[in-house]
Amino acid sequence: MRFFQPLQQFGFGRILAETRTHFPLSPGLISIEKPESINGYSAYFDFPLIPDFSSKDLVDLKLVWNISDSKKERTLFESHQLSLQPYYPSYAPEQISKKDYEKYLENFLSLPNLEKQIFVLPLNHYESNKIDKILESDCSLIILNDLKKLFTNQRKLAERMTKLRNKLSPDIGLYLPGSVSPAFYSFLSYIGIDFFDNSFAYKISENGIFLTEDGVFPIDNHPPCFCSHCSSTPKNIFGHNEQVLKNAVARVDFALNNGTLRTMVEQDVHRNITFAATLRHLDKIYGELFRKRTPLVSSAQVRCVGEESLFRPVVSEFRERIKERFRPYSDSRIVLLLPCSAKKPYSQSRTHLMFRNAMKKAGSSIFSLLSELIVTSPLSVVPRELENIYPARFYDIPVAGNWSENEIKITSNLLLDVLSHYHKDSIIINHLHGHGYEDIVEKVRKNTTLNVIDTSNKAPTTSHESLKELSNVLATTQEEFLSNQFTKVNSNTKKLRAISDFQFGPGTGQILFPSKVKLKGKYPRSPQIFRDGQHIATMHASTGFLSIFPAYVEDISNISLNKLQFGANYVSGSNVYAPGCLNADERILPEDEIFVVHENQVIATARALVSGLDMNKMTSGKVAEVKKKLKVNK
């Protein structure tokens, strides 16, 4: 069993806990003491370690988890003490020869299980096929002793790390020893580092440097600080500097817990031009690897900072799902394109209330024909039915109306994709206004066979003139379709079907909500959903997503994308553990509502802790928390 267990996943960033106690340990700062005899620093365990690797001087190395003694006692109980670990000392030659590495590997693998927990991986062996052997063991912590060599080439650093992290199971912690500026912590955590240490504080304190959250200052001229280390006489500079590191780790931890790490990274990378370029590169080349590990079920505000936000994993995932999973209601014949609003959900904004009024003036029968698409950046296209789900209800952008080339291209492409699923007689009503929108509609017009009518090209969308034009055009357009036979579907049913398709896969909405549904309870309380008098699901007000009772999941279990194949016919306890998992759908994201299936029967619903991709990699620890179990007659 591995020492760590991921409690939360956000891209390659994770909260790791001790497996048995679930006490959170990462992101963490490891304390080191400065051994006088060694040039530089060395990491310590607080119990003796034997460097098994070579005949180098046997020094007592200690590594102290930075947690309070009372908690440590609970966390590191005897059977789990990382004692007698092989440790590749940091003072060993940086370039380890192939022969030495193999010898080390051999030694490591021949250790008894309990001791096989910490492995040192030199940079030039990241892609070695020998690592597979390590992954089969209980190895829990990998020390990347010389990763820092890539710090001058952030792009290469990000690439190597992404590849390595993708290969490793998420319950393996990565420790980057040595002097690392806290300005890098958020980015390094985002690409998968779990532990840093306090050696940076030693290094700069020795050089007379005073660290603050946003810079370094000479010891005799720095901004005032009122921490206990600065208030004492004499000032404890090391204590102060170390405190800044602890705060920086705590800041990353907070962002991971709140699902806002990406926003933090986007803000932090602007302090460093190379990092900003690296992030864009990562999104472009490895975006999918991050996307498949980033939760979509969330209620964290998506603060879009700049162009980076366009390729933010959660934003790409939204666009991808609109493309792959959103299918317009079959009777839709009039597609209305509307601009977004700062207030979310859009329908509660002043502008959208005005649009709604204009629609009503065209007559109430318009609504069975109408499909509303909100055109916006960076999400591109938000169907009205999905305006309440994450991230549609939770994003904000500093300046609306300024569209970059990329935004125009991405948005018009997605819009064309969505439009291709409407009936061939459908008519598009373009109620958008302004430069970027003009370019988008122009591209659409050129590439669609559907007829496009403008209602707001001369005046702003909320002007009296434009609104009147909208009502008139809707009224005349609807006449064209009045001879058709349409089934009346209430807007709740349409909405629930769209959410279900988006969440569980295309076609599931039609099966779960074939006819009229009833919702009880209003925002901010979570509405309960009833079908034929049966309580079948809950719509969570905080995220906009659904929870379905296991008995009703049965109906969609063969087409759903959120399945976890389980080896037994019941789940004991309140967690699903990795050894029982036969296979997880790789489209499962952390935090997703998933269905635990045994031989085609849904035995429970659960909340995923890690992505499906990573569930398949884990060999121990829990992968999901059970929400509801199917009642079985024994």
Interacting residue with Zn ion among 84, 230, 416, 511 (CB under 5 A): 230
**Contact criterion met (CB below 8 Å) for 142 and 172:** yes
Q: How far is the CB of 597 from Zn ion (least distance, A)?
A: 55
Span from 141-149, 220-228, 308-316, 340-348 in contact with Zn ion (CB under 5 A): 220-228
Classify residue 232 by burial, with Cβ atoms within 10 Å: 0-12, 13-18, 19+. Answer: exposed
Q: Determine if residue 22 is left, alpha or beta; phi over 0 gives left, psi from -120 to 50 gives alpha, anything else beta.
A: left
CA 313 to CA 54: how far, in whole Å? Answer: 44
Pick the closest to residue 500 from 538, 454, 470, 527 (CA basis).
538
**Closest by Cα among 266, 258, 261 to 299:** 258
CA distances from 598 to 581, 617, 630, 633 (A): 10, 20, 12, 16
114 or 227: CB nearest Zn ion: 227
- Using the rule CB under 5 A, give the single segment among 226-234, 261-269, 432-440, 492-500 that binds Zn ion: 226-234
Q: Of the two residues 244 and 610, which places its CB atom closer to Zn ion in the complex?
A: 244
What single-letter amino acid sits at 248? A
Q: What character string, x for contact with Zn ion (CB under 5 A) and - otherwise, covers 415-454?
A: ----------------------------------------
Half-sphere exposure of 13 (CA within 13 A, CB side): 26
Give the containing element (helix H, strand E) for 375.
Answer: strand 370-376
- Residue 232 beta carbon to Zn ion: minimum distance, rounded to whole angstroms: 10
Least gap, CB of 211 to Zn ion (angstroms): 9
Nearer to Zn ion, 231 or 348 (CB): 231
> Quick one: 114 or 230, whose CB is closer to Zn ion?
230
Site string for Zn ion, 368-407 (x = CB under 5 A): ----------------------------------------
Q: Tokens for 230?
A: 């600065």
Residue 225 in the binding site for Zn ion (CB under 5 A): yes
Angle, vertex CA 409, rays to CA 404 and CA 412, nearest 5 = 120
Smallest gap from Cβ 243 to Zn ion, in A, equals 6
Q: Please report whether residue 541 would count as binding Zn ion according to CB under 5 A.
A: no
User: Cβ 168 to Zn ion, closest distance in Å?
Assistant: 37
Here the tokens at position 348 are 């509660």
Residues 374, 352: Cα–Cα separation, whole Å: 10
Q: Judge whether 550 and 630 are in contact, CB under 8 Å.
A: yes
Q: Quick one: how many helices (H) and strands (E) in the chain?
A: 19, 29
Residue 230: CB minimum distance to Zn ion, A: 3
Q: Which stretch binds Zn ion (CB under 5 A): 130-138, 223-231, 303-311, 612-620?
A: 223-231
Query: Distance between CA atoms of 266 and 269, rounded to whole angstroms?
Result: 6
Q: CA-CA distance, 279 to 162, in Å (whole number)?
A: 12
* CA separation for the pair 121, 65 (Å, rounded): 20
Cβ–Cβ < 8 Å for 412, 448: no
Q: What are phi and psi of 506, to 5 degrees?
A: -60, 140
Q: Which residue, 227 or 519, has its beta carbon nearer to Zn ion?
A: 227
Inter-residue contact 176 to 185 (CB < 8 Å): no
Size of the site for Zn ion (CB under 5 A): 4
Work out how close the CB of 181 gets to Zn ion at its nearest, in angstroms, rounded to a whole number: 17
Choose between 247 and 515: whose C-beta lies nearer to Zn ion: 247
Stretch that binds Zn ion, among 116-124, 200-208, 222-230, 404-412 (CB under 5 A): 222-230
Least separation in angstroms between residue 236's CB and Zn ion is: 8
Q: Which is nearer to Zn ion, 50 or 225 (CB)?
A: 225
Q: Which amino acid is at 253?
A: D
By beta-carbon proximity to Zn ion, the closer residue of 135 and 230 is 230
Q: Which is nearer to Zn ion, 84 or 227 (CB)?
A: 227
Q: Which of 227, 277, 452, 489 binds Zn ion (CB under 5 A)?
A: 227
Stretch that binds Zn ion, among 102-110, 239-247, 491-499, 503-511 (CB under 5 A): 239-247
Does 135 sit near Zn ion (CB under 5 A)? no
Q: Which range binds Zn ion by CB under 5 A, 22-30, 221-229, 268-276, 347-355?
A: 221-229
Say whether residue 240 binds Zn ion (CB under 5 A).
yes
209 binds Zn ion per the rule CB under 5 A:
no
Residue indicated by tokens 């819009």: 415
CA 271, 275, 278: angle at the middle one, nearest 5? 155
Instruction: Between 1 and 227, name the residue whose CB sits nearer to Zn ion.
Output: 227
Minimum separation from the CB atom of position 219 to Zn ion (A): 12
Site string for Zn ion, 169-208 (x = CB under 5 A): ----------------------------------------
Nearest Cα neighbor of 328 from 442, 426, 449, 455 is: 426
Query: Shortest approach of Zn ion to residue 68 CB, angstroms?
Result: 21
Q: Closer to Zn ion by CB, 177 or 182: give it.
A: 182
- What is the rounded CA–CA span in Å between residue 53 and residue 100? 9
Where are any strands of DSSP class E within 468-541?
517-520, 528-531, 534-539
Q: With respect to Zn ion, which residue has the nearer C-beta, 93 or 223?
A: 223
CB 227 to Zn ion: min, Å: 3
CB of 228 to Zn ion, least distance (A): 8
The two tokens of residue 577 are: 């553990």
Report the candidate in 65, 56, 64, 63 with the shortest Cα–Cα distance to residue 38. Answer: 56
Q: Please state the closest distance from residue 222 (CB atom) to Zn ion, in A.
A: 9
> For binding to Zn ion (CB under 5 A), which residues are involved?
225, 227, 230, 240
